[in-house]
Amino acid sequence: MRHYLDHAATTPMRPAAREAWLEASEEGGNPSSLHAAGRQARARLEDARERIAASLGAHPTEVVFTSGATEANNLAIKGGVWASIDADPGRRRLVTTQVEHHASLDPARWLAVGHQVPVVELAVDATGLLGLDALAREFDGHASQTALVSVQWVNNEVGTVQPIGAVVALATSAGVPVHSDAAQAIAYEGVDFAASGLATMAVSAHKFGGPVGVGALVARRDVRLVPLNHGGGQERRVRSGTLDVPGAVAFAVALEQAVATREVERARLTRLATRLIEGVGTSCPTGVLSGPEPGTSRPTSGGGVGVRAPHIVHFAFPGANADALLYGLDSRCIDASQGSACTAGVVQASHVLIAMGRSEADATSTIRFSLGWTSTEADVDAVIAVIPEVVERARR
């Protein structure tokens, strides 16, 4: 029996979402076509859009379908900065953090290198938390030059939850819009787009039980974006391409289930994560837990709050190479990852841990266990049982 603990990379499709996808896939029609089949496809697509919007606290016209959070982040960051420059060439500065997912960090660095965009990557503390006082200082004398702030809601590697509400409040008072990659937040945090004050937000269906290859950029109706690709202009004229109707339908079903069970699942996974943290800490005491302490909610400099997402448990095992750890776990029927799964399958030092002040050696000795809707106590107990031997062998 295999034990899947890599839900932060992708979580299995929920049965209801799979059934919805299969049913929708039996129907033909391009939603941009004007014949009967096309109109029926358009009706299914718009129904899915409305359901997704309702689940996210957004208006249906604010949901722009994409292939996932990577495309959504690129559209928000590149498209948002370019639109700002078009309106005011002096307003081109981008503020982000050192611990963003590569789907946000790499577009920012690409803009810096190739498009003369000044990019500020703010430091974080030892738990991965952004300091609000540091963010506030970035607006002193620079607010009128700043096009966008981009902060990931929940860190995908160590599970640190950023104080998005406070980030938005600071930026809004300076007249600066905020984008957030919310891919890891949707299933377990209280995400309400309208209440958040965000300008844009990235979502990916496969993070909460929907299909791979479909997601959305949720963008306020007053937000201007420059398209990244050009064609039919199907989505608000900022995202071209024939839309995936079955994917959108399954996306809506999975999201509704995730939101409906959010509080129950948060409590359940918190218990499982605590069991895992305590078990690994006892059986392999040389392991070092990354991120905020379990169950903590502490004030920080600038008024932030350091809390841990319920589904991510990240350890560094000094002296044990991540390659060897992964292969050792895999050979014992346990699926885990080093951290982000979106770096072409290459094991490399975690930029997140390095930003948190850890050594290069520690940043290449990490394992992320992530939980989801299929996780059980048996999955957790399997890790606890084998981790001492796996770490010992990896160190040898």
Q: How far is CA 302 from each of CA 105, 192, 308, 369, rounded to the nearest angstrom? A: 24, 24, 18, 31
Distances (CA, A) of 382 to 44, 221, 243, 275: 42, 48, 41, 12
Sheet architecture: strand order including 119-122: 63-66, 215-219, 200-204, 178-181, 146-150, 93-97, 119-122
Cα 34-38-41 angle, rounded to 5 deg? 145
- Asked if 96 and 240 count as a contact pair (C-beta separation under 8 A), the reply is no
Report CA dihedral (29, 216, 268, 167) to the nearest 10 degrees: -170
d(CA 112, CA 253): 39
333 as an active site residue: the answer is: no
- CA 235/CA 229 separation, integer angstroms: 12
Tell me which DSSP letter residue 97 carries: E
Strand pairing of 215-219 and 178-181?
Answer: unpaired
Query: Cβ-count burial of 107 within 10 angstroms (0-12 exposed, 13-18 middle, 19+ buried)?
Result: buried
Tokens of 29: 């029609």
Among 212, 289, 342, 347, the one annotated catalytic: 342
HSE-up of residue 119 (Cα within 13 Å, Cβ side): 22
Orientation of helix 262-283 relative to helix 377-395, angle to 10°: 40
Cβ atoms of 209 and 12 closer than 8 Å: yes
Helix axes 102-114, 69-87, angle to 10 degrees: 30
What sign for the dihedral angle of Cα 120, 126, 130, 134? negative
Q: How far apart are the first and last CA of the chain?
A: 27
Catalytic residues: 342
